[in-house]
Structure 1
Amino acid sequence: MYCQGDIKKWLLLLYLIVFCPIQSKILAFPLGCSLGFRQSRTSCYLCHAFSAQSVEATVKVKDLLSDLPTPTLLMELSLAESALNKSKISCLDDFLRDTEKLMSRAHVLDGSLFVHTKVTDTSERDKINQESGSGKSVGIGLVDCPPDLIPGGAYLGIGLANHHVGGYYWARGMGMGASLPAHGVEFRGVPYSNNIGELYWKKRGPGTNAAETTEESSNSNDGKRSEWADFLVKDDTVQLVPYNTTSLLLNSPFQRLIGVRRLGRPLGSDPIVERIWKRDGMLRGWVIEK
């Protein structure tokens, strides 16, 4: 039997956990998931929501892609509008706000959504490169996007802008090319942390030649498609493309959806933020913020 004082203590503890994540440093003992708060990423669904919201809140209209924090949920507006027009959906704002429509037709936005993320560590690959030569490492690098931010999983896309990576240059795809997969590259979690994800070569194994295009090799030998992934270094940014658009829009901890546009921008320049939506509370849809 708990006394009234005990009940008050438990209620206070619950309040601190739910509403005061910064305070959780003093409560860092195991309660299912770690309560230790990190500014960038945390290790449970609720904490991800708090952290994502604080990071996303810094984004402003007219920011460039290179200015955005990571991880951030993006929509390429020209691609999305084109997809909706083909599906005879007249208004993007109304569509995103309507949870029922998202449940039944969010798939029309396939190829329009991206998760903007940053490479945080390539030390394992770099060590193998030094010991065995380039093109031998299965791992590419760690990124600051854990898999639970993207329900349904994701793959590495060619991306939204031209980019320099570790001294290597490639022209990323325009139009639907932005969401084309970087051939052979996969995305997964890591067993020792819930705060990060990993990019790796699906088929590369010991003794295979990175330049081959056989089943034993992951590389297409086309720098625009995937070869550039071997040249990623810490702090480079890439975009992950969700496999399941519906699950991402309805169930992801992201609290803001950032609309960027490439159309009308100078060739090779960064996409620009044109619109920002925020999640509509318990309804899980999205309402225009800016």
Structure 2
Amino acid sequence: MPEGMIVKALAGFYYVLAEDRLYQCRARGIFKKRGIAPLVGDRVIFTPVGGQEGVVEEVLARSVELVRPPIANVDQAVLVFSVREPVFNRRLLDRMLVLIEKAGIEAALVLTKIDLLDTLEKIDNEIRPYREIGYPVYRVSSKQGTGLEEVRSLINGKISVLAGQSGVGKSSLLNALYPSLDLKMGEVSQKLGRGRHTTRHVELIAVDSNSFIADTPGFSQLDFGHMEPEELDSYFREISQLSKDCYYRECQHETEHDCAVLKARQEGVLDELRYQHYLEFLHEVRDSKEGRY
């Protein structure tokens, strides 16, 4: 039986790409009984039926898995945020980074619509903490063509998932990078201050022979599921590094004695907003845990 990759899941069908041919497949009922849901990005074994249809027989082991967006086996997450319309949202960025770090996926940040800014000083100050802890940051204007070559190099030869809230310009970015895609673009609702959903499902798009991009439905809410409070600090890179010098092994960096994170905060070494988001998420994880019991 041939092996392929699921590039789209829609209305109960799984579209499997194998040797440049696309098969519309159903999954065996055994998957549902076992609680297994095939995901976009999954490598699968399938049985062709006729010329263009098939049945998914087996889902192969995943290297990584994201819950939202639901996708597997990606090489990197490209987090797309606009600097305006909607404004740059650091709380949402930090939430996304926590989940990306938990999944063990490399992340890069792409800031769109920089042509709407009179000066880059403010946004440069906001993104400096992310550059300092190792996240690549790209500034682009799809309208003016600024920064596109750098982002194209980032994507080349990889399976990338683009994620970000509605209206930040993911589809506009993809159209600017690869005009032949001709993706539908939405407009930001001026009245509501948020974007309309234009991408309705997760789909891997082949932009060349060895590069795939998953354009995903926009979102603005992400929860931490069954995360434990003790693990949260490991998903903040700078806090994880500092915590190695904490006196207590399971220090949670609030009021503990000889906490290296609190010391770094007092000395101005730790970005204050990142730390405040850590505390906010920590309390949320604790409340969620209490609600599970």
TM-score (norm 1): 0.21
The higher-RCO structure (CA 8 Å, 6+ apart) is 1
